[in-house]
Amino acid sequence: MAEPTPAQRMIGDFAPKLVELTDEVLFGDVWARSELSPRDRSLITVACLVSTGSTEQLVGHLTRARANGLTEVELKEAIIHLAFYAGWPRAMSAINVAKRVFEEQTARD
């Protein structure tokens, strides 16, 4: 039996169709396309999440971004850069999320 996906763990019983779309379309197709590297997709996704203030989703995507080759320094720099385009409050919220995520990763390593 396969390990449940993050979407299955979060909302599997509550919204199975959204889990199916997340797992099969978003991560099974869109993220798997070869036209962009996983690293580039992660950077784009993090930028979009910061820009829209979607900090709850940012937690998992910062972790994914690190696994896809982005460094902590690069991700912090992206958030700093976005402060001038997406807004200071969104960048401040995002950098606090990043700080927590990176501290947790460091503690696990």
Per-residue confidence of the chain (109 residues) as pLDDT tens digits?
789 999 999 999 999 999 999 999 999 999 999 999 999 999 999 999 999 999 999 999 999 999 999 999 999 999 999 999 999 999 999 999 999 999 999 998 8
So what's the pLDDT on residue 35? 98
On whether both 100 and 49 belong to a single domain, the answer is yes
- 8 membership: H or E segment, kind and range: helix 6-11
On whether both 14 and 57 belong to a single domain, the answer is no
6 lies in which domain range? 1-33
On whether both 44 and 9 belong to a single domain, the answer is no
On whether both 58 and 97 belong to a single domain, the answer is yes
On whether both 20 and 44 belong to a single domain, the answer is no
* Cα–Cα distance, 15 to 40 (Å, whole number): 29
On whether both 54 and 7 belong to a single domain, the answer is no
Query: How many of the other CB atoms lie within 10 Å of CB of 97?
Result: 19
Predicted TM-score (pTM) of this structure: 0.91
Do residues 57 and 43 make contact, with C-beta atoms less than 8 angstroms apart?
no
CATH no. for residue 86? 1.20.1290.10
Total number of domains in the chain:
2
